[in-house]
Structure 1
Amino acid sequence: MGHTIYYKTSISKWEEFTELMERVAHALGYSTIRGSFFIEIHPHREGVESLRIEKEGEGFVKTNRIEPEHSIYLLILYSISSFGVVSLSED
């Protein structure tokens, strides 16, 4: 156990991105907290940290490869490329 996803974001279409993330998160039964320059996605799953994405910044999230959250987080992070730039790595 102990799998982590590291990411760096630069999101130019912030409003569009956060609106989509709230829609997707709520459809999955997750809750969200939205600020001016960040959005947090809370899956309410033991062993999986909440995903915090900043408009411009770096972050990491421990998923422990718990599915389906691990794959959902990857999809969410890769979707940033439609709204800006993202780079990510895992360990």
Structure 2
Amino acid sequence: MGYTIYYRVVFVDEKKALRVLEEVCTGLGLQIEKKGSAIVIIPKCTCIEPLIIKSGEWSFSKTYKKEPYTSLYKLILLSLSSFGSVELFDDEGFVL
């Protein structure tokens, strides 16, 4: 059974957000890449989907409720509200 996080980020300053994300992801042991207009955060665990962030677009990522990835993804997304706006919800009724 899956567990999915749904989110939309609209950046005001994507360059600053990317700089902060690079430091945070490096510290957490997550790989981060810039692919075209997307920021992609790749976990070490291959059973968790990458967190793909495209400004202004709704996206989702299946974490299957595996920790610490579910909590890390939520924290990363919530931290991006410092650089724009974030909408976030999950399969269990969490809403921001």
Aligned-pair distance for 1:36? Answer: 4.8
Unpaired runs of 5+ residues, structure 1, are: none
Residue 62 of structure 1 corresponds to 62
- Where do 4+ consecutive residues of structure 1 move more than 6 Å? none
Tell me how far apart the structure 1 counterparts of residues 22 and 54 of structure 2 sit (CA, whole Å). Answer: 14
Which residue does 1:78 correspond to in 2? Answer: 78
RMSD, matched Cα: 1.2
Gaps of 5+ in 2: 92-96
Q: Secondary structure of the equivalent of 1:49?
A: coil
Partners of 1:20 and 1:37 in 2: how far apart? 17
Measure the CA separation in 2 of the matches of 1:35 and 1:62: 20
Q: How many percent of aligned residue pairs carry the same amino acid?
A: 37
**Residue 26 of structure 2: aligned partner:** 26
For residues 15-54 of structure 1, the aligned pairs below 5 Å read 15-54=15-54
Aligned pairs, how many? Answer: 91
TM-score (norm 1): 0.92
TM-score normalised per structure 2 = 0.88
Partners of 1:28 and 1:89 in 2: CA distance? 23
